Structure 1
């Protein structure tokens, strides 16, 4: 229910009914649109769609969004979704009962039903109330002059804004006191105000008024595009007022309508609100088009009307919102009962012939022609089933009974032969020699010429096979299209057939068009696609997305080189440049579609391919469907050149929604994000397409199609910038992206410091694990060495306690036997020699026992072990032992220490046993760059042949020492000469000899237990 404010009930009702299109000029900018044509597309949104009801005012902001002021608040509309707002950019409305709207630049002005005005501008708000000079009464209307002066009307009169304060037009300014609902801002900066006692006009740019019209009880004034004003009185009388001269001219509606409301649009058209809906009047004020509730209008009572910048006209009613726009396809009015089986055929004289075939057999509705001058002409045609245009421009038509021919303005007809009568003609084609090829249902193909019929044109293979479609090309060939991807061509007297093996994949062939841009090229259309024949093979055409190009029942190659298709989904256009690409081998091509959004209704006949698409002499393409006939001019398609302004509406996390304000900080641990965005597309919002990207995560644009949301998961902390662009129905993209920058705070576990700490902890853990593993390996090696040493000791004990003791006991027995013999007994010498040999065996055994037990006798590091070994061996062989250490002792690698000890032991044993040296020395040198071990004696030295060969024949001590040195990456040098002693030197590089920190190194004492 509407507020009556502080006026009489009668005035309130008149105010509700006589609503005016104020923004028809100011809201639409400088765009100029022609007068409406007959084809218009209407769309209605009601409360169940989220649309406001009984909206008092409308406005379009700088981003092309539509705003509606209603009693339950402000509503915003992008062409798809209505959104009811109680706050704008976080600033709350003073009241949800809004009344008036005004857009100035980026600012939205809102007038309230209970007084006051708010101005919202890019996140800021300015509220005007009684302290700023406004009354606490209803604000009816807001308007602005070209020089920037803002006016408003209220129940207490007119006000204008001076600086930051509102000024009231007082009676001394020439305007009587009272309630002013409406005023009109004129192009010369003057204002027309309407009062029951007359009409008042202000001075240019001023606020003083004078009465320019007495009486008439004018209530509303509509500014016409030519600067005049259409005045409407409370008695529904219409006047045309000329501000320049003051002339007042009465207007009369010839249809006798008594409108509830009258208003003008930016095209200069007059619309009247009747008790059933709204009517569009022609320039001579007769009814051109009507929209009635509830079928094609949301309500009966028009509250307001508005022209947007794309040329659409909007209405608000008691039930919702309606949009009226011109369609790109223009339909024509058809005679009664002409509703199915329609066909169109253009001839060379500029006429278009509309045929009518009804499957019920009712042929009473005759076809008609549209001549070049726009007039309609009756025809003798009945039940047209097939048409064609001959090379000379004349037109042929056929039914199941008759052939017709129209040439030079004259009609001529021939009955079908008796054996063909009653069978509908399926297709027609006229070849270059003047023969008319006729395909008859279930009767095959025949040739008609000069009144004579010939089955198959004299070719038996064609006489019994009915073709779905026919084509005669400029090269004299005749093409025959059949069902199931079958096609034949008659070239001279030769018939050749094509099928799926030749690449033909279009289904039932409904129409064919020869291609003049290539030699022998052919375009083939079927119910499953479109194919191209290059003279050798067929290829199926595809759209940009790789799907098959939809087929249909109509196809035309225009004089401009474009290919047009007509199918169940509407018309499809392929540009001439893209056809040239097909001729060069490309099979994927972009297309433009014209469907129900462009005014296409019904669909062409699918089973009987009537002539569903034809090009007229003036370049227009005419099409026919099951219930309409229309046309489109390819050279003058209305385009929307206005780029849509994409904008971000909201940021949503799992817990909260955020305003799209740059600099927004999202909480820690935000991983999932939803971004809502939109762009106002008010003409064909269904074709709006979006692309978006999140800078900081991605650089390339992502195609969202028609979706108006973006989703991100697993986001990390950082700075981001979301950007979105949109393209309108004609592919015009946004020039500036809608964007919002935000930052996600990092939790401590997401900071670089936490990552560094984790890295350090991981390193420490790895080191601990390494050291633990190293200790474990060391312990296992020590255990194995101890086991080996224990086994050696057991063997040594066994040899000493059993074998060696047995040998000594045996020697004592032989010695007693020797002493029991006579001194001159020869056996005594043999026994002595045997005892000497046994002594050597005993000494060798003791040496072996010593080697087995040597590890047990060791303690400490390498120098200690070698010192113990030397002091143990030297006294047994009457030699002196000396060990020296140079440099600071460093732990050796396990393998190096073991092999060095083994080499030194072998050298010491050789020096003690074989060199007979009085002195044996060992020198350990721990140098920074290498480790060296030297063992020397002053004995007899090595024989010359041993030095030459590198080893003693049958002995492998020297060879073993060299192998041990090589195993640890070192070198072994043996310097010796007969009579001058021997020096054995082991040298190992520092990086191979010394144990690194944390590496495995075992002292020789560790294996002794």
Structure 2
């Protein structure tokens, strides 16, 4: 009997232990935020560029993931794997790296398979060869709370103090030589297995204590001060501090020995297994000494999508992702914003509604009951529900309407009633597109291809919309005032109020296309469709426009939460628009909203719904929002969306100049004549690297930052020589930008053709050519003037000869005859005195004529004209007029060329003589203005002015003065202008180019005046 009693007690104890373990498992799974399969899982294998032969992984302080392999060291930025290449000539001791550690002070420590270690910081390598304590391979590194670095090898342990490694001696009280993977607990105590027992070194002490616990152990995780999870040779064990301060071992029954472990942000315990992938003990972890069995663990192996069953190491990065290194690649597990609900096999259409007991889910193409209630994120079938549900409608109370192919069902509580379809509806099968009830409880149902019907009691009547009868009703909704809203195809909406129907179409501003979703919140109604989103407010309709590259299209589900945020289930995923953006859009229809897209990267799965079941989005009482796709159902909890506050670190990996690579470039000098530059850059945001955005700027060339999007390269071509700095910044998946930019200064030297010397030489050649051109132009202008003067001299000689041979000879004969006749008159004849006086006057005229004739035949005077010549001319003519003559000089006087100067004086004399003879002026002014480009001569009077007819003809009848002045100016290469003054009088202005009028040595030195010569 005693044996039987003991046997029964033992059996009951075993049953109790099993039940308690199962209850713990269920409790853990229920309390955990999500199952391991709900996490977003990404993989990288050799096909994706991942290296083979992974030994260890670690994250450096700048956020990059480093991978130690038997073929070298690799860096991973979430997009590509880059093999480490030293920036300088020092190389790693070996490529077979088996230990890797990233201290909090920065850099990387590496341990090699056959001894020796290395330290890398900023691309520079410090090697510690395989000698002494490093003659054996390193088994691990760790960093104490005071920053002291420790390492272990087959030769013992060493500390890194004052930039030197110091081997731990017997004075430390450690009783072993070969040390395997020491570890730290939560208090900073150092633990190490000495080959026989487990010893520990409290923080701040210099002597190890012995636990006298025998066995080979290595530390995995210290989740609390009184417990350490250890890996034994065959199983997972707990090291627990008991009441007297000593430590005791408690074995588990997980039946495997983890290689590495890490704790996730949610408190769950992840373990790497060399046979079955990765295991996860959900949070909260059981209390110390409580039995832990394999049933508590979640497992994720190759059959679930892990890259291999042999997992080597598991770590948590700074953004919360869990990384698992396997023998075939790399896996990432991270929380997803959206979680999925497991759907029955064969699901092809999901209907959503909410009654008084929670969320109802109708499933199409599932045999048996197809109405489910969601409990703890699992679908629980409702017994006796109809099969093949295509639509559901519930107001939140007890009444639920179910549309089934060619059937309508009414559910109240747990009782289902089949309702006959309208008698005048022909054709099979019949599909109920959408349903609602009016304020009187009458059911409105849109039957595809037949229109909208109303069910009042057991009587069906067809609703006829006056202006929209020929359109198909896709969506329907009752607002808080009792209006029935119906959405049609082709931008048409109907609002039914009692017996009155108001239709809205494209001419009223409806632009959403085929209206698939209608939702109300406050004073506005949302209209979502194939072409976008609109809202109805205060009798008008406006469209919502996006300011980002994410367009709003294919909207089939709308939820505006109580806090004013808007959620849309649409073609490219789920779109979130904040309440602030919505408020601005409602206040200003022209405002373009900023949207946040949730897609497959956030856990959204499934094919978007194109027609039905509708609607595809619903908010539940607990604040979650559910989104239905064709085959999948996902949900999001807006109150618990984690944001990534870790700003990425941007780095410039490489500068490629015309094919020449510069690793980690900084302060380099490029070769001369470089035409094409390429900058390769990246950033250390591993959570969702596909959403890392970049902007860059080449200081000295770009005037502003360039938006690169997700591109990780920048290209420049044919930039001028000079000093430049390339800058790049990055933002993470939540738009947090790196606080500082990565900088790469460099210098592009000029080629000889781009140098200052070449520019100076070119300037000298140009100046010489321009000077030569100037001299040629002067010579040409001088020759032209000389030719014209010689031609005039010949003409003058010809005229003088003709005058002498004809005119003057004839006049002389006439005067002789007149003299003879005068002598025949009596001496006292008064007429004789008059004739003799006329003869004397005639002799003076003849003498003046002979002088003019001699002037025509003589060579031009060599006396140089001067500005005083003009002044003398004015003074000589003053006695011939009662008008006041004034003479004025502007500018610095210059010496005048002989021929051109005399011509200018003659033109001025003629203009002044005309003013004296014809103007009747009281004041005549002569202005002589010297400038760098020309000589200006102005003769201006205040007389009666030139008559309009003479001014129009250009000369006075029988007079050649004006004509002569123009001819002389044209031959001189000058410009002359004769104009009337509005206040009365006439002005004659002569403009002579400097190259013509000035002596060569008096020409001004000008930078651009050569073009002035070409104008004349």
Place the TM-score, normalised by the shorter chain, in its bin.
Answer: 0.7 to 0.9
Q: Aligned equivalents of 2:509 and 2:47: distance in 1? A: 51
Following TM superposition, by how much is the alpha carbon of 1:303 offset from its aligned partner in structure 2, in angstroms?
1.7
- In 2, Cα distance between the equivalents of 1:443 and 1:116? 82
1:534 aligns with 2:530: no
Q: 1:87 to 1:860 in 2, by over 3 A?
A: same
- 1:262-309 Cα shifts (integer Å, max 9, x gaps): 634333324353645334344564376543337722223112221101
Partner of 2:946 in structure 1?
none
Aligned to 1:720: 724
Query: Within the alignment, does 1:453 sit opposite 2:455 as a pair?
Result: no
Distance (whole Å) between structure 1 residues aligned to residue 320 and residue 722 of structure 2 = 44
Cα displacement (A) at 1:76 = 0.6
**Residue 356 (str. 1) matches residue 363 (str. 2):** yes
Instruction: Report 1:361-372 matches (<5 A).
Output: 363-371=367-375
Is 1:310 the counterpart of 2:319? The answer is: yes
Cα distance between partner residues in 2 of 1:719 and 1:689: 27
Kept after mapping to 1: 8 A contact 2:221/2:261: no
1:371–1:450 Cα change, 3 Å: farther
Report the CA distance between 1:632 and its aligned residue: 0.4
Residue of 436, 447, 451 corresponding to 1:444? 451
What whole-Å deviation, never above 9, does each CA across 1:440-477 have from its counterpart, x for those lacking one?
A: 12221111233332221x76777776411111111221
Per-residue deviation, 1:660:
3.9
Distance in 2 (CA, whole Å) between partners of 1:967 and 1:85 is 80
Cα shift at 1:185: 2.0
Question: Which segment is superposed worse, 716-725 or 848-857?
Answer: 848-857
Q: How does 1:495-574 map to 2 (within 5 A)?
A: 495-516=501-522, 518=523, 521-545=524-548, 548-574=551-577
Cα distance in 2, alignment partners of residues 463 and 904 from structure 1: 101
Structure having greater relative contact order (Cα 8 Å, sep ≥ 6) = 1
**SS of residue in 1 equivalent to 2:54:** coil
Q: 1:906 to 1:536 in 2, by over 3 A?
A: closer
Asked if 1 retains the 8 angstrom alpha-carbon contact of 2:151 and 2:157, the reply is yes
Equivalent residues in 2 for 1:169-248, closer than 5 Å = 169=168, 175=174, 177=176, 179-194=178-193, 197-202=196-201, 204-206=203-205, 208-216=207-215, 218-227=216-225, 228-234=227-233, 236-242=234-240, 245-248=246-249
Native 8 Å contact 2:364 2:370 kept in 1: no
Pick closer, same or farther for the CA change 1:861–1:92 going to 2, 3 Å: farther
Q: Deviations over 1:372-405 (max 9, x none)?
A: 8988352514322122332758543322344344
Q: In structure 2, what is the equivalent of residue 973 of structure 1? A: none
1:858 aligns with 2:865: no
For residues 240 and 823 of structure 1, the distance between their equivalents in structure 2, rounded to whole angstroms, comes to 168
Separation in 1 of the partners of 2:743 and 2:842?
A: 102
Q: 1:902 to 1:169 in 2, by over 3 A?
A: closer
Match of 1:121 in 2: 121
**Native 8 Å contact 1:604 1:612 kept in 2:** no
Q: Residue in 2 aligned with 1:578? A: 581
Provide, for residues 50-86 of structure 1, a one-character-per-residue CA deviation record: whole Å limited to 9, x for no partner.
Answer: 2122221111112101111111111011111110013
1:690 and 1:724 in contact (8 A); partners too: yes
The question of whether the paired residues in 1 share the 8 Å contact of 2:272 and 2:313 is answered with: no
Q: Give yes or no for contact 2:559–2:567 (8 Å, CA) kept in 1.
A: yes
Unpaired stretches in structure 1, ≥5 consecutive residues? 1-32, 871-886, 909-924, 934-952, 971-985, 1002-1009
In the TM superposition, 1:762-801 aligns within 5 A as 762-801=766-805
Deviation at 1:589, TM superposition (A): 0.5
Over residues 926-978 of structure 1, what are the superposed CA-to-partner deviations in whole Å (9 max), with x where a residue is unaligned? 999xx999xxxxxxxxxxxxxxxxxxx999799999999999999xxxxxxxx
Whether the aligned pair in 2 keeps the contact of 1:691 and 1:701 (CA below 8 Å) is: yes
Q: How many Å separate the matches in 2 of 1:709 and 1:817?
A: 115
Structure 2 equivalent of residue 874 of structure 1: none
Residue in structure 1 matched with residue 692 of structure 2 by the alignment? 688
* Local SS of the residue matching 2:223: coil
Q: Given the superposition, is the C-alpha separation of residues 583 and 348 from structure 1 closer, same or farther in structure 2, using an over 3 Å criterion?
A: farther
* Change in 2 beyond 3 A, CA 1:611/1:660: same
Aligned twin of 2:157: 158
* Equivalent position SS for 1:512: strand
1:702 CA displacement: 1.9
Residues in 2 aligned to 1:744 and 1:899: alpha-carbon distance in whole angstroms = 60
Deviations 1:584-616 (A, max 9, x none): 123410111110001111123212243321000
C-alpha distance in 1 between matches for 2:541 and 2:128: 73
Q: Deviation of residue 195 (structure 1)? A: 5.4
Q: Distance in 2 between matches of 1:377 and 1:626?
A: 19
1:479 aligns with 2:485: yes
SS in 1 for 2:606: coil
> Aligned partners of 1:195, 1:182: CA distance in 2, in Å?
10
2:87–2:664 CA contact under 8 A, matched in 1:
no
- Residues 325-364 of structure 1: matches in 2 within 5 Å? 325-335=334-344, 337-349=345-357, 351-358=358-365, 363-364=367-368
Instruction: Pick from 468, 488, 491 the counterpart of residue 494 of structure 2.
Output: 488
Structure 1 residue 896 displacement after superposition: 4.1
**1:565–1:232: structure 2 CA closer, same or farther, 3 Å change rule?**
same
Could you say if the C-alpha distance between residues 798 and 570 of structure 1 is closer, same or farther in structure 2, counting changes exceeding 3 Å? same
Q: Distance in 2 between matches of 1:208 and 1:180?
A: 16
Deviations 1:529-566 (A, max 9, x none): 21222344433322113774222321212122121111
The equivalent of 1:102 in structure 2 is 101
TM-score (norm 1): 0.77
3-state DSSP class of the match of 1:343?
Answer: strand
- In 2 relative to 1, CA 989–434 (structure 1 residues): closer, same or farther, beyond 3 Å? closer
Pairwise mapping of residues 34-183 of structure 1 onto structure 2 (< 5 A)?
38-87=37-86, 91-104=90-103, 105-122=105-122, 124-129=124-129, 133-169=132-168, 175=174, 177=176, 179-183=178-182
Output the CA distance in 2 between the equivalents of 1:455 and 1:724: 65
With over 3 angstroms needed to count, the CA separation of the structure-2 counterparts of 1:510 and 1:851, relative to structure 1, is farther
After superposition, the C-alpha distances for 1:195-253 in whole angstroms (9 at most, x for unaligned) are 5534333454456445425444x34331232242222332x222111256412111113
Pair 49,960 (structure 1): closer, same or farther in 2 beyond 3 Å: closer
Contact between 1:793 and 1:852, CA under 8 Å: does it hold in 2?
A: no
Q: In structure 2, how many angstroms separate the alpha carbons of the residues matched to 1:435 and 1:587?
A: 40
- Displacement of 1:415 in angstroms is 3.8
Answer yes or no: is the 8 Å Cα contact 2:115–2:134 preserved in 1. Answer: yes
Match of 1:26 in 2: none
Distance across 2 between alignment mates of 1:899 and 1:150: 100
> What is the CA–CA distance in structure 2 between the aligned matches of 1:460 and 1:960, rounded to whole Å?
93
Contact in 2 for aligned 1:893/1:1000 (Cα 8 Å): no
Q: Deviations over 1:108-167 (max 9, x none)?
A: 222222322222234554332356x43322122111111222222223333333434434
1:730 is matched with 734
Q: Structure 2: which 5+ runs fail to align?
A: 1-31, 286-291, 873-891, 914-927, 938-955, 979-987, 1005-1016
- 2:889 matched residue in structure 1: none
Question: 3-state SS of the aligned residue for 1:740?
Answer: strand
Q: Distance in 1 between matches of 2:930 and 2:661?
A: 73
Q: How many residues align?
A: 876
The alpha-carbon distance between structure 1 residues 991 and 354, as it changes in their structure 2 partners (threshold 3 A), is closer
Aligned to 2:437: 430
| Cα pair distance change 1:893/1:669, threshold 3 Å | farther
Measure, in 2, the Cα distance between the counterparts of 1:459 and 1:967: 88
Q: CA deviation at 1:899?
A: 3.7
C-alpha distance in structure 2 between counterparts of 1:595 and 1:888, whole Å: 86
**Which residue matches 2:902?**
897
Q: Give the SS at the match of 1:777.
A: helix
- For 1:145 and 1:811, how far apart are their aligned partners in 2? 139
TM-score by length of 2: 0.76
Q: Distance in 1 between matches of 2:261 and 2:484?
A: 59
Please tell me whether residue 470 in structure 1 is matched to residue 476 in structure 2.
Answer: yes
CA contact (8 A) 1:230 1:240 kept: yes
Question: Aligned partners of 2:990, 2:586: CA distance in 1, in Å?
Answer: 80
- Following superposition of structure 1 onto structure 2, how do residues 382-421 of structure 1 map, counting pairs within 5 Å? 382-390=387-395, 394-406=399-411, 413-420=418-425
Output the aligned Cα RMSD: 4.7
